[in-house]
Chains A and B, each alone.
Chain A
Amino acid sequence: MNQAIINRELASFLRTRRAVWLQVALAILFATLVLLRWPTDARIDRFGERSREVYRTFGFGLLAVVILISPVFPATSLVRERIQGTLALLLASPMRAWAIYLGKMLGILGLILVLLMMSLPAAAACKAMGGISSGDLLALYGLLILVAAEFTALGMLVSSYAKSIDSAVRITYGLVFALALLTLGPHQFLQGGTGFMSDAAEYIRCASPIAACMELFGQQDVSGQGLISAADIAKRHVVFGVFATLFMAIWTISRLNHRLLDQAKSAGTITNELGLLSRVFRRLMFLVDPQRRKPGIPWFVNPVMVKEFRTRRFGRSHWLMRMVSICVIVSLMLACFTAVGSADWNVETIGGILVVLQMGLVILISPSLSAGLISTERESGGWDLLRMTPVSSLRILTGKLASVVWPLSLILLATIPGYFVMIYVKPGTQQSMIRVLICLALTLFFGMLLSTCIGSFFRKTATATVAAYSLLMTFIAVPMLIWVGRDAPFSHSTVESSLTLSPAAAALSAIRVRGFEDYELIPLNWWIVGGLSAVFFLGLLIQTWRLSKPD
């Protein structure tokens, strides 16, 4: 019965021109990855180490593709059907919820399999070099399919809750990156230790497909620092992956019923009309109540900026205040650890955690806030209305960018007390902390301008968000993946050159975090990131001006 859904999910995408381009691009990418590491000198490798280096590069490329591409299909699937009204038709049919779910799941997995098949010629080339067994390749593809299944289940779960396509994409990508990258963080700082925290960190990283992949490639740990872990990460990840997928699948299936559609429209309750007690309670809970009646936009404020704040749930003041409060508390807690001063938790380690957390936040939030600034307007029809007002394209652009700069800056500023405490504890780090803050500020502008500029070229917010995340991750995460393979297969100079592109790496090297202390990335990184930001801003200006002109 679900054959029809599988066909539709697969066929509707595969028959598009976009699908052809994607397949061609992936085939070229995988071939390039292999070619880049293909040995060209006359040395003979008896132990297959060089072919394993090629295989690792290729494998990480495959994993990056699965992480970047696979979440978008499930994230949009249910919410798009609900908005278009076809979910009601499906639910009204005799098909059972599990059949609908399975049909969609298999359709999406089929699609990802088709994309992965584009890598088979490159995989065959790796095997032809020797040193790689069929079992190695099978294990890699098996793991990738499991990761795709995990992300598909996650995306569909998010999609069943989301109200709009772009919010589904944003939340899914946020969770995928948190699962793949943030889970590695605790172990990075706690490895080699004993006790509950260290053990917990060891287990948490098993949720990351990156750690599992690294073990398949024989690299043991992310930034292992020579410490060999006895944990069987890949097996643990398989167990985690299977259970997580099943759990999310059952959760989503339980939601696939009439209740998904049986939701009342908002009655538009307004606090001003509630009783005194309710008003006081809401004031205490929210401080800035999102449901109170707003005064008009003052003349000195850019109306486009206010509109952007009001149209985003996260942009509402109470959310910002909550976010800033959390940042202040976390940074002070981390600084407090420094002040207490155990041997392992020095200023550099705590600073490193803080930088990683802030970078994570900026990377997660920047594209989610910026990528849809223009495309959402074009998709909803609001762009024509904006063009019909006397507001200039420059004012539209500055208003939109300001709506992203404000929350991100507040989040960054909120962590400054933590840095002050660390400077107080170790006065010699003042210079490093200032450099870190400059790196973070540059990352903020870079992430925002890149996402807005790339997003402005798309009509659909979902596509814009995916493209922005992919490019930003290419700039920030790919150099970090190369750093993971430092010394073997990549030389020190290669790693340093690639890290120069990553503002996150620059911040970590500025604070001398373990593994980054040997690289001198500043000020070259600032020039590159600043220059690229300027290019993206210019591109954005031209694109906004072009879109504002008559057709």
Chain B
Amino acid sequence: MSNQSPALAVDRLTKRYGDFTALDSLTITIECGRILGLIGPNGSGKTTAIKMLVGLARPTEGTAHIAGIDCSRDSRKIKRMVGYMPDKFGAYDNMRVTEYLDFFGAAFGIGRRKRIKRIDEVLETTNATYMRDRYVESLSHGMQQRIGIARTLLHDPDVLIFDEPANGLDPQARIEMRDLLLQLAASGKTLLVTSHILPELSRICDQVAILLNGKLRAFGSLPEIMKSISQKRTFEIQFSSKEAIPAAAKIGRDFASDEADAELSESPAEAIIRLRTAKSDSEMGELLRQLITADIAVNQFRELQADLEDAFLSITQLNENGVQVADTPSTEKPAEATR
């Protein structure tokens, strides 16, 4: 892969089907060896975007380049550079795993000797060697996902695009999938992953792009996105007994009374109050001092880390409420706009 070009550069990529706009001016860039998570609800345009990147759909407007090569004009070159795993496995009846991989290896023009060696390697990488003689249609969903990844790795592509790789997997399989994706990124491959399982993505992605109704709502690293969504943070304070809750809640409310939209919630069963506020760390230190002065026994005082799920929900909810959040004008780069 050329060092000068980014691994993936998408500029104002648009796809329309008649009057319906499936994807509207998507602009993103990924550097080599990074993992981009593409998230969004069903029908948000994720798969449409992916199909244009791998040359299975032609953009109505805009361009997409992988390592400097145009995805729609040079689709033959792109096929050799990209490993694509669609959300549907694509099993063939009566075919064993090795036969299945052998076929795709031959289709990619890999010589027989090299292919046989390569099949062993990719099965090893995906921890699927024990499945080599099994029929692909009889494999469980998790096993099929692994074979799907093995298939994408056969021709050793620089860019890997996985559409919902963790979909339908059990927790153990998800952890294994996450480790596998990290391992692939560590080996220098650039990954684009879509998923509905947001905690999984937040653990592995360097960058995240959030799509909603075909539009890019946010793009950047997770902390950047969180910062762009809201300046508020949530603090959780746990007490030694639930009897302390009324007094502590009163102190908390008084403390945040100067902030109009601060929120305080109580959870007596856990002996916890949560305060969502825009106050700084030093100001929050003052709250802790007031609680201790009031002789309330504090067990824990911590800030809750916002995750991708919060970001995603914030963006989708804000949009439904009609408040414009990171609704990037198509002429600007969304990453900058959200920061």
Contacts and interface: CB of A to CB of B under 8 A. Distances in A.
Interface of A: 163-164, 265-270, 293-299, 303-304, 306-307, 310-313, 316, 380-382, 384-391, 549-551
Contacts of B333: none
B56 A550 contact: yes
A267 B58 CA distance: 42
Given A296-B115, A389-B79, A268 B103 contact: no
B112 A297 contact: yes
B92 A382 contact: yes
Contact of A550 (B58, B86, B105): B58
A343 to B, nearest CB: 49
Main secondary structure of the interface of A (DSSP, over half): loop
A297 B106 contact: yes
B142 interface: no
Nearest to B88: A381
Given A270-B133, A310-B94, A310-B99, A390 B57 contact: no
A282 to B, nearest CB: 15
Contacts of A164: 93
Interface of B: 51-52, 54-58, 72, 75-76, 79-80, 82, 84, 86, 88-96, 98-99, 102-109, 111-113, 115-116, 131, 133-135, 138, 151
Contacts of A307: 92, 95, 103
B111 A385 contact: no
Contacts of B76: 390
Contacts of A310: 92, 94-95, 99, 103
Contact of A388 (B52, B56, B109, B116): B56
Contacts of B95: 307, 310-311
Given A294-B102, A385-B90, A268 B108 contact: no
13 contacts: A266-B138, A268-B96, A307-B92, A310-B95, A382-B92, A384-B88, A388-B55, A388-B79, A389-B104, A390-B107, A550-B52, A550-B55, A550-B75
A293 B133 CA distance: 8
Contacts of B135: 265-266, 268
A385 B94 contact: no
Contacts of A550: 51-52, 55-58, 72, 75
Given A266-B135, A299-B112, A551 B57 contact: yes
A385 B104 contact: yes
Sorted nearest first, the 6 A-B pairs with minimum C-beta distance are: A381-B88, A303-B106, A268-B134, A389-B107, A265-B138, A381-B90
A312 B82 CA distance: 29
Contacts of A312: 93-94
Contacts of B94: 310-313, 316
B112 A381 contact: no
B91 A380 contact: yes
Contact of A304 (B52, B82, B107, B113): B107
Nearest to A396: B107
A268 B138 contact: yes
B92 A380 contact: yes
Contacts of B106: 296-297, 299, 303, 306
B133 A268 contact: yes
Given A266-B138, A268-B138, A298 B86 contact: no
Contacts of B113: 296
A303 B89 CA distance: 19
Contacts of A389: 79, 104, 107-108
Given A296-B115, A311-B92, A381-B90, A390 B80 contact: yes
B108 to A, nearest CB: 6
Nearest to A267: B134
Nearest to B134: A268
